[in-house]
Amino acid sequence: MSAQGIAARQAAQTALASILQKHKPLDSAVSFFSDLSQRDGGFARTIVSETLRRFGQLDALLRAFLKDIPPRHRSGPAYEILMAGACELLFLEVAPHAAVDAANRLAQADPRARHFKALINAVLHRIARDGASVIAAQDAERLNTPDWLWLRWVDAYGEAAARAVARAHGKVAPTDLVIKGQDATIPAGERLLDDVVRVLPGSRVPELPGFNGDWWVQDIAATLPVRLLGDVAGQDVIDLCAAPGGKTLQLAARGARVTSVEREESRMERLRENLVRMKLEANLVTEDLRDFFPPFPASYVLLDAPCSATGTIRRHPDLPWIKSATDINTCADAAQELIAAAAEITAPGGLLVYAVCSLEGEECREQIDAFLAARPDFQREPIAPEELFGHAEWIDRGDLRTMPFHLSERGGMDGFYAARLRRSR
């Protein structure tokens, strides 16, 4: 086993423990991967992401081969070593001798896990021999979705749709690029919309032609809320909760005069960098939107509210395992305050588009229904299929509602919700 392989697996083990034991987000847990070589960093992230994507299956598999899961206070990272090793064997198709030997070395290197080295070795050898048949008999969609999400989705969408969502979450999300203009250099890929290209699997974004100024990365679903504002060329538009900036870039590229409001300076800095790279301009305001009072109300306001992000699990497979229903309620309560503040800076006759990358009713339609009940000066302005390139399946009772299984034959898309509201006075 090469030292490079061990370094990648050690990093993956550390990240998994951080996520599963401390509930740290995936992006935070793997932040130190940049210290690894490009090859090792990529391998480590693949191990972590696929282990989380198949977490329910892998956990059930281990319990089928173990009488008891080793207690963490005695075994240290033994559980993560077993999970990652099983993932390598069954889902990453790593040679059994390489995966098992690496797991043994990781166990030996830890003062607590080394006492379970013989167990780890025996279990992984059994999994290498018999694990595939166990996996084949599993209900993967159900196992890989924790109860708190499964029951919500079945209740909201029905079991068939819940299974389709879970099935979509089992696949790696593709990379979509939004093309800045007609003269842009466009990497090879599939054209999804007039200005959205899905690039080839395995593409390294910074190395694609046109990286400096011709396009930016944004899932096709995330591009739709801006389209609901219509023609914004020459108009003043306020983009609330704007970072990392995809919607600001869209608005600026469409000729709008954009004011982007974001409360976190670190996130605003990322937006600023994206604007520089794309050679676009916007007025940036680092402030909590609830304390933001523009000189005059705007005819166009876009609020992409912070949310549970359950529509983006394909990209963030840690979410089901580090969040809970409590987070949904917390996000819904915060969104209620944010949309109330957004309404105050929307001019009479103006449009307010509310959007979230969530599948949860409390953050989506229920949020808007409650808002409209409290604010009779706003009315829902239904979305028509022709505004969404004829995709009537992306519309639910007049609102935008994309699901991860939409466009499944082309790689899927994020789950997104948006409502368009017109202020009458």
Task: For residue range 343-388, list pLDDT tens digits in order.
Answer: 999 999 999 999 999 999 999 999 999 999 999 999 999 999 999 9
- Residue at 286 is within a domain: yes
Rounded to the nearest 5 degrees, what angle is found at the Cα of 214, between the Cα atoms of 208 and 218? 75
Q: What is the mean pLDDT of residues 308-319?
A: 97
Band of the pLDDT at 47, cuts 50, 70, 90?
very high
- Residue at 198 is within a domain: no
DSSP secondary structure, 276-289, as one string? HHHT---EEEES-G
Q: How far is CA 9 from the centre of its chain?
A: 24
Rounded to the nearest 5 degrees, what angle is found at the Cα of 79, between the Cα atoms of 120 and 98? 45
- What token pair was written down for 288? 């909590």
Q: Coil, strand or helix: which one is 198?
A: strand
Domain CATH code at residue 264: 3.40.50.150
Q: Which domain holds residue 150?
A: 141-170
Active site residue 357: yes
Residues 128, 162: one domain? Answer: no
Identify residue 274 by its one-letter amino acid code.
N
Q: How far is CA 110 from CA 7, 263, 306, 400, in A?
A: 14, 41, 39, 50
Choosing from 88, 115, 138, the residue where a domain stops is 138
Q: Pick 360 or 1 by higher pLDDT.
A: 360
Which among 225, 209, 142 has a CA at the least distance from the CA of 177?
A: 209
Token look-up 């090859």 returns 39
Residues 230, 106: one domain? Answer: no
- Residue at 187 is within a domain: no
Span 179-208, pLDDT tens digits? 998 899 999 999 999 999 999 988 899 999
Q: Given this model, what pLDDT does residue 2 score?
A: 45
Residues 320, 418: one domain? Answer: yes
Q: What is the mean pLDDT of residues 276-298?
A: 96
Contact 186, 179 (CB under 8 A): yes
- What token pair was written down for 176? 């979509």
Q: What is the mean pLDDT of residues 96-116?
A: 96
Sort residue 33 into left (φ over 0), alpha (ψ -120 to 50) or beta.
alpha
Q: How far apart are CA 187 and CA 211, in angstroms?
A: 9
- Residue at 190 is within a domain: no
Q: Coil, strand or helix: which one is 195?
A: coil
Q: Given this model, what pLDDT does residue 417 score?
A: 98
Q: What is the mean pLDDT of residues 21-40?
A: 93
Q: How far apart are CA 412 and CA 312, in angstroms?
A: 11
Q: How far apart are CA 181 and CA 222, in angstroms?
A: 18
Q: How far apart are CA 211 and CA 205, in angstroms?
A: 7
Q: How far apart are CA 234 and CA 238, in angstroms?
A: 13
Q: Given this model, what pLDDT does residue 1 score?
A: 39
β-strands 236-240, 257-262: how paired?
parallel
Span 150-186, pLDDT tens digits? 999 999 999 999 999 999 999 999 999 999 988 999 9
Residues 97, 148: one domain? Answer: no
Count how many domains the chain has: 3
Residues 287, 381: one domain? Answer: yes
Residues 95, 234: one domain? Answer: no
Span 78-90, pLDDT tens digits? 999 999 999 999 9
- Residue at 181 is within a domain: no
Q: How far is CA 87 from CA 27, 52, 70, 319, in A?
A: 20, 9, 18, 19
- What token pair was written down for 260? 């982007």
- Residue at 175 is within a domain: no
Q: Given this model, what pLDDT does residue 281 score?
A: 97
Q: Where are the beta strands (DSSP E) in 218-306?
A: 236-240, 257-262, 283-286, 298-304
Q: Where are the beta strands (DSSP E) in 142-270?
A: 176-179, 189-193, 196-199, 215-217, 236-240, 257-262
pLDDT at 267 over 60: yes
- Residue at 193 is within a domain: no
Token look-up 């914004």 returns 232
Residues 268, 346: one domain? Answer: yes
pLDDT at 60 over 70: yes
pLDDT at 4 over 70: no
Residues 37, 134: one domain? Answer: yes
Residues 278, 389: one domain? Answer: yes
Which candidate in 87, 241, 307, 357 is catalytic? 357
Q: How far is CA 300 from the centre of its chain?
A: 26
Domain CATH code at residue 95: 1.10.940.10
Span 230-256, pLDDT tens digits? 999 999 999 999 999 999 999 999 999
Q: How far apart are CA 265 and CA 261, in angstroms?
A: 10
pLDDT at 120 over 80: yes
Q: Given this model, what pLDDT does residue 182 score?
A: 86
- Residue at 156 is within a domain: yes
Residues 259, 164: one domain? Answer: no
Helices (H), 281-395: 319-322, 325-344, 365-374
- What token pair was written down for 164? 């389709």
Residue 93: Cβ-neighbour burial (10 angstroms; 0-12, 13-18, 19+)? exposed
Contact 354, 419 (CB under 8 A): yes
pLDDT at 3 over 70: no
Choosing from 117, 138, 159, the residue where a domain stops is 138
The whole model's pTM is what? 0.95
Residues 154, 280: one domain? Answer: no
Lowest mean pLDDT among 34-43, 258-267, 282-291: 34-43
Residues 39, 154: one domain? Answer: no
Contact 304, 289 (CB under 8 A): no
Q: How far apart are CA 209 and CA 336, in angstroms?
A: 42
Q: Given this model, what pLDDT does residue 202 score?
A: 85
